[in-house]
A and B are shown apart, each in its own frame.
Chain A
Amino acid sequence: MSQPTGPASRGHAQTQPAPPPEALEVTLTLNGSRRTLHVAPWTSLLDALRLHLDLTGTKKGCDHGQCGACTVLVDGRRINSCLTLAVMMEGRTVTTIEGLASGDTLHPLQEAFVEHDAFQCGYCTPGQICSAVGMLEEGHAKTDDDIRELMSGNLCRCGAYPNIVAAIRQVMDGQSKDGGKP
């Protein structure tokens, strides 16, 4: 595993028999690019993205896995980045909202969210879209009720739910018509 890259000489470590390492090296693929960073073990993936990698599209809502604003894709699967340690991401592929578009061409779900006005304040939107990308990849949603159930980990305090469901529905239907490709 990664080795500490800095001495654990500041602050907390004095009374511990084995001082925690200050920073560990972790290398991951982030939105298509290989990135190496040095983070303390207790840094969440969410904080690493926002504070170390300047990717502030991923939002911190509750920071306890209850709101879904921090949803990102790890190895293609949607997870809560607030409940994952950055050091656990060694070798993984992470996709955030910033990595969904191809140049100026939006991801079909981004397109659909705009088209359906599927947000008001927009704070939950990156998480909603990443979660929807993951849900469509999982392939278990067939009906609007399925969408509501399988998107229940993403809260929208503005209450844009009807339009969120409509946006996802549109992309889902398009996928099934086009043989699975958005």
Chain B
Amino acid sequence: MRAFSYDRPDNVDAALRGVAGQPGTTTEAAVKFVAGGTNLLDLMKADVMRPERLVDISRLGLDRIEEIGDSGGDGGLRLGALARNADTAYDERVQTRYPMLSKAILAGASAQLRNMATNGGNLLQRTRCYYFYDTGTPCNKREPGTGCGALTGVNRIHAILGASDHCIAVHPSDMCVALAALEAVVRVSGPKGERIIPFADFHRLPGDTPHIDSTLAADELITAIDLPAEGFAKHSTYLKVRDRASYAFALVSVAAALEMDGQTIRTARLALGGVAHKPWRDPAAEAELAGKPASLETFAEAARVLLHDAKGQSHNAFKIGLAERAIVRALAEAAGVEHP
């Protein structure tokens, strides 16, 4: 690992002073926050990320999970940015009111990593594209302008939606797929005070600037993730398809959440992981489900709409059919409809 300096502030203002004046987005920053360290330190060992200074934010006290609003239970839940993934997944309120989120978190990584990794860090983890990790190959995300090794290389795990000629990497998080479906809100502190970022606007598509993962500025700190009151506890699930039974990234994952009126779908949320540079949502596919009877035919039609523009690479075209079937199965499980 390259040399860097280290600081450990004990409050948010001091942490923000540590990154004050940095231009650009947090992805490109020379001074980085470290909390769990599970992804950043790994990338530093691989020489993919080369921060000059680490600001250890693990003692800022942003590790609580709290009710939003005065009365318990109807104003949503605030997940501290520094609450550990394991503590979040096993929190009784999360398990009861947001079971899809709990399931998604527990589908990711290993127990040790979930004990270390924080909620804010989960949002900022970087792609596991082999070419991004291998400094001997070209990668526009790691070294802008060098090209994309995956486009002509081994691209079995790569994107089928929203990719560009510059990058076909996917976002690796499970937790973020559930947060996208829940329409969580990211709370951020910076030099101009607090701001909120709707989850759909937090991550970005690669376009011609794949070296930027998110819209978080280099002088900002995630303080919390707010969950709206509606948790879809009755009709939701998280389905993850991967190469191993445990401890593997998703080839395709689906967060499916429904509001039902008898056997009719009132509203639907559908988010996919493992298929794009960010958790993938498609308003047209969700609209396709609204007002329809909960049936395998309805679900298949929504899957067709969502995957209409999907494009396979040389090794990952199987993901299109896989995603189609995963969507149908996840929606069937969420709705309580029998499926093959």
Give chain B nearest CB distance to A83 CB in angstroms.
5
- Are B8 and A20 within 8 A (Cβ)? no
Interface membership of B5, Cβ < 8 A: yes
Residue in contact with B56 in the complex, picked from A64, A88, A150, CB distance below 8 Å: A88
Give chain B nearest CB distance to A148 CB in angstroms.
7
Within 8 A of A (CB), among B61-119: 86, 90, 109-113, 115-116
Per the bound structure, the CA–CA distance linking A117 and B182 in Å amounts to: 47
Interface membership of A153, Cβ < 8 A: yes
Interface membership of B38, Cβ < 8 A: yes
A19: B residues at CB distance < 8 A:
5
Per the bound structure, the CA–CA distance linking A63 and B37 in Å amounts to: 13
Interface membership of A110, Cβ < 8 A: no
Interface membership of A77, Cβ < 8 A: yes
B58: A residues at CB distance < 8 A:
88
Interface size of A by Cβ–Cβ distance < 8 Å? 42
Interface membership of A44, Cβ < 8 A: yes
A131: B residues at CB distance < 8 A:
111-112
User: With A65-B38, A152-B246 as given contacts, are A79 and B112 in contact (CB-CB < 8 Å)?
Assistant: yes
- Are B112 and A42 within 8 A (Cβ)? no
- Are B6 and A87 within 8 A (Cβ)? yes
Per the bound structure, the CA–CA distance linking A84 and B46 in Å amounts to: 15
Interface size of B by Cβ–Cβ distance < 8 Å? 35
Binds B, one of A29-37, A118-126, A134-142, A165-173: A134-142
Interface membership of A90, Cβ < 8 A: yes
Interface membership of B284, Cβ < 8 A: no
Give chain A nearest CB distance to B42 CB in angstroms.
5
B4: A residues at CB distance < 8 A:
20, 41-42
- Are B41 and A85 within 8 A (Cβ)? yes
- Are B6 and A21 within 8 A (Cβ)? yes
- Are B2 and A42 within 8 A (Cβ)? yes
B318: A residues at CB distance < 8 A:
none
* CB closest residue in chain B, given A155: B247
* CB closest residue in chain B, given A64: B42
B34: A residues at CB distance < 8 A:
85, 88
B7: A residues at CB distance < 8 A:
1
Interface membership of A16, Cβ < 8 A: yes
- Are A71 and B41 within 8 A (Cβ)? no
Interface membership of B292, Cβ < 8 A: no
- Are B111 and A138 within 8 A (Cβ)? yes
Contact with B along A59-75 (1 / 0, CB 8 A): 00001110010010000
Interface membership of A12, Cβ < 8 A: yes
* CB closest residue in chain A, given B58: A88
B246: A residues at CB distance < 8 A:
148-149, 152
Interface membership of B308, Cβ < 8 A: no
- Are B116 and A80 within 8 A (Cβ)? yes
- Are A140 and B90 within 8 A (Cβ)? yes
* CB closest residue in chain A, given B114: A153
B5: A residues at CB distance < 8 A:
18-21, 41
Name the residue among B42, B46, B56, B112 with the largest chain A CB count within 10 angstroms: B112
Interface membership of B1, Cβ < 8 A: yes
Give chain B nearest CB distance to A13 CB in angstroms.
7
12 pairs of residues in contact across A and B, judged by CB atoms under 8 Å: A1-B9, A20-B3, A20-B4, A20-B52, A21-B5, A64-B42, A64-B45, A78-B111, A80-B112, A83-B37, A148-B246, A152-B110
Interface contacts beyond A16-B52, A87-B6: sample of 10 additional A-B pairs, CB < 8 Å, sorted by A: A1-B9, A18-B5, A41-B4, A41-B5, A42-B3, A65-B42, A68-B112, A83-B38, A85-B54, A153-B111
